């Protein structure tokens, strides 16, 4: 088996030698030959593993690709007239593009016929607009990829689900074939190759092989410098201690920093997909530190990274051993009868279930208010993640989970990366392998790769009951410990925060869950995405948010009435939360600490 080599430091990627002006084919050839010798054993190892491991074959996000495209082509070809129309349309676009290019070659001023979407960072270099050849390459790619998507979207006879699936796979193909991903059609790479005499390609091959060694023969793209960050050293450093633990979670209490604190404590329920410290990265972008500095007594649930012994932990266990145990411990520590709770992503889904369960048992006063961050309750329009949760995909995941007890965090990480392939895959392919550079140290990406496993029982329940059958939004559709769950019974004051560019919990889907709540409630929409829209400290001066007092069932109507405010939603939430603080009291010092924060559970790889 290949031994993983240490990653080159960022300094090593910046050669101090004078750059060469021409590529030496002999030197480059030797370097490529040496790299290939290293690559062959890794490829052989990977193929042997893939051939033997049926679960490795089954857990493929593209598992039904051939079947779906075969069905799509059958529907498309059943209408020959439409096929001819599409072909004529395509060739007409080519003719227009050639005419546009000839105008530019003749010195005439001509606007591009095809332009990148706002936010598409692939074509930022000046050459894509100033060099006629690269301009033509860019436009022909955008034209063709756009035409492909229109073919899928305009094909009649497909179910909405099939259309979404085919369109997603078409986008994956189009993204992979972008001219930016190839040496000879990326002006930045060509320029760097000439500048370094091909050293960038040699460095890129070294990076590629190191990533394959890191993945034990399977490509595991590096997205950041993994030596820079360490939880408890320079991230997850807000002072606190573990004050309670069971085999599923550790409860962290943070030290006060103000002369007085709010009487009502605040529990934060982090998602157990990845780790809690997304909310406590560096001091300057830590939501936990900011909350403590506002006078909240903050407690955090730090979930264990499940191993085979956790295979039978189910959603009920996460409710009892996670949320309910935490609430009881917090009440004992603080002497308060109720707690404010903030929950993020799947943690919010769990909180909604817990509240409905408490309501049914007459115990809802335990929670004074709730804050739901990018939380799905209605999974009908849960975005592209639903493409990975049809019955065949779920059965494949259950097969491997039954064998290993858990679903590997690597699988989830790859799935999330596919949802934003240009940002999370191809940008690093270009940077690492074509430009030959090291990825930039970035705390969010370090956290993103610090993935966690999913217990078999819990994950199967979650996928089948939420994504597949959407039971949580249905009146008494879900049952936990014999208790019928109905989120419409929840009348606890609620603050919902969603993000406008969220690809994991689309904001219109989260708004549907918000509409089901019957108590006092407020919906706020932050700019940016699932993570960056949450980790947005006021001092950064980034993004904005929208808020409205309207409670229309339509998210589009809500947005029409919403007012845009510059800055962070954190300050808006703080104004809302002041009604539920219960007054002030003396700071609560930590007693009976088990170990210092961030605790040992979060360090488990």
* Spatial contact of 287 and 257, defined as CB atoms under 8 Å apart: no
Contacts (Cβ under 8 Å, ≥6 apart) of 73: none
Q: Which of 345, 351, 419, 458 is catalytic?
A: 345
**467/393 Cα distance (integer angstroms):** 12
Dihedral sign computed on CA atoms, order 395, 400, 404, 406: negative
Q: How far is CA 36 from CA 33, 205, 430, in A?
A: 5, 9, 19
> What angle, rounded to 10 degrees, do the helices at 80-105 and 65-77 form?
100
Residue 216 CA to residue 528 CA, distance in Å, equals: 35
Query: Read out DSSP for 204-218?
Result: HHHHHHHHHHHTTTS
Q: What is the DSSP letter of 431?
A: I
**Cα–Cα dist 327/264, whole Å:** 12
Edge-first strand listing for the sheet containing 249-254: 563-566, 544-548, 521-526, 494-499, 367-373, 339-344, 266-269, 298-303, 249-254, 240-245, 595-596
Q: Which whole-number Å values give the CA distances from 245 to 270, 326, 456, 457, in the listed order?
A: 15, 9, 22, 21
CA distances from 402 to 258, 457, 464, 513 (A): 49, 9, 15, 32
* Pair of tokens at residue 221: 């793209």
Secondary structure letter of residue 552 according to DSSP? -
| Of the candidates 494, 158, 210, the residue with the CA atom closest to the CA atom of residue 340 | 494
- Residue 544 bears catalytic tag: no
Instruction: Give CA–CA dist 552/554, Å, rounded.
Output: 5
Q: Which of 34, 43, 37, 44 is nearest to 203 (CA)?
A: 34
- The set of long-range contacts for 477-486, using a CB threshold of 8 Å and a minimum separation of 24, is 478/353, 480/315, 480/316, 480/319, 480/353, 480/357, 481/316, 481/357, 483/357, 483/360, 483/361, 484/360, 485/353, 485/356, 485/357, 485/360, 486/356, 486/360
Distances (CA, A) of 158 to 63, 85, 383, 388: 19, 18, 18, 18
Q: Which has the closest alpha carbon to 338: 310, 365, 319? A: 365
Phi, psi at residue 461, to the nearest 5°? -60, -45
Q: Say if CB 400 and CB 58 are below 8 A apart.
A: yes
b/e per residue 151-186 (b: at least 16 CB within 10 A): bbeebeebeeebbbbbbbbbbbebbeebbbbeeebb
Q: Which long-range contacts (CB under 8 A, 24 or more apart) does 159-163 make?
A: 161/390, 162/68, 162/71, 162/72
**Under 8 Å CB-to-CB from 519, ≥6 apart: which residues?**
490, 491, 492, 493, 494
Catalytic residue set: 345
């Amino acid at each position: 088996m290949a031994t993983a080599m240490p990653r080159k430091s960022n300094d090593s990627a910046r050669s101090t030698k004078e750059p060469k002006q021409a590529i030496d084919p002999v030197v480059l050839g030797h370097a490529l030959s040496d790299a290939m010798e290293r690559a062959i054993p890794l490829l052989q190892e990977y193929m042997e593993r893939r051939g033997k491991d049926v679960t490795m074959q089954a857990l493929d996000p593209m598992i039904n690709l051939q079947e779906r495209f075969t069905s799509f082509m059958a529907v498309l070809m059943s209408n020959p007239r439409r096929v001819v129309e599409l072909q004529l349309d395509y060739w007409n676009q080519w003719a227009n593009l050639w005419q546009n290019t000839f105008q530019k070659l003749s010195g005439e001023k001509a606007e591009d016929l095809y332009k990148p979407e706002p936010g598409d960072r692939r074509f930022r270099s000046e050459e894509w607009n100033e060099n006629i050849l690269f301009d033509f390459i860019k436009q022909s790619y955008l034209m063709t990829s756009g035409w492909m998507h229109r073919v899928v979207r305009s094909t009649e006879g497909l179910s909405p689900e099939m259309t979404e699936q085919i369109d997603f796979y078409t986008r994956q193909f189009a993204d992979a074939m972008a001219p930016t991903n190839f040496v000879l059609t990326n002006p930045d790479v060509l320029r760097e190759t000439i500048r370094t005499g091909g050293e960038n390609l040699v460095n890129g091959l070294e990076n590629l092989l190191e990533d394959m060694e890191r993945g034990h023969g399977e490509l595991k793209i590096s997205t950041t410098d993994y030596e820079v960050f360490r939880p408890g050293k320079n991230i997850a450093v807000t002072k606190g201690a573990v004050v309670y633990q069971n085999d599923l979670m550790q409860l962290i209490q943070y030290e006060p920093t103000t002369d007085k604190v709010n009487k009502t404590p605040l529990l934060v329920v982090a998602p157990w997909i990845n780790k809690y410290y997304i909310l406590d990265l560096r001091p300057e972008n830590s939501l936990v530190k900011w909350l403590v500095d506002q006078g909240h007594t903050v407690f955090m649930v730090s979930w264990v990274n499940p191993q085979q012994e956790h295979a039978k932990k189910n959603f009920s266990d996460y409710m009892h051993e996670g949320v309910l145990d935490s609430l009881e411990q917090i009440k004992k520590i603080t002497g308060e009868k109720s707690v404010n709770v903030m929950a993020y992503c799947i943690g919010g889904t769990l909180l909604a279930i817990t509240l409905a369960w408490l309501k049914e048992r007459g115990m809802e006063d335990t929670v004074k208010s709730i804050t739901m961050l990018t939380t799905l309750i209605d999974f009908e329009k849960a975005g592209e993640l639903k493409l990975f949760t049809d019955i065949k995909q779920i059965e494949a995941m259950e097969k491997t989970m039954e064998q290993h007890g858990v679903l590997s965090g690597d699988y989830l990480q790859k799935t999330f990366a596919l949802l934003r392939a240009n940002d999370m895959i191809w940008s690093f392919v270009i940077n690492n392998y074509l430009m030959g550079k090291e990825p930039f140290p970035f705390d969010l990406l370090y956290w993103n790769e610090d993935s966690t496993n999913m217990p078999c029982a819990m994950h199967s329940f979650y996928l089948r009951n939420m994504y597949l059958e959407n039971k949580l939004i249905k009146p008494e559709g879900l049952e936990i410990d014999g208790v019928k769950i109905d989120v419409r019974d929840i009348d606890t004051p609620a603050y919902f925060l969603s993000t406008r560019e969220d690809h994991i919990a689309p904001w219109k889907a989260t708004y549907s869950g918000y509409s089901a709540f019957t108590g006092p409630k407020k919906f706020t929409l932050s700019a940016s995405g699932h993570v960056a829209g949450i980790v947005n400290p006021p001092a950064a001066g980034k993004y904005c948010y929208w808020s409205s007092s309207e409670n229309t069932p339509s998210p589009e109507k809500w947005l029409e009435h919403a007012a845009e405010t510059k800055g962070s939603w954190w300050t808006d939430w703080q104004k809302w939360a002041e009604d539920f603080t219960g007054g002030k009291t003396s700071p609560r010092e930590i007693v009976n600490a088990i170990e210092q924060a961030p605790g040992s559970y979060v360090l488990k790889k």
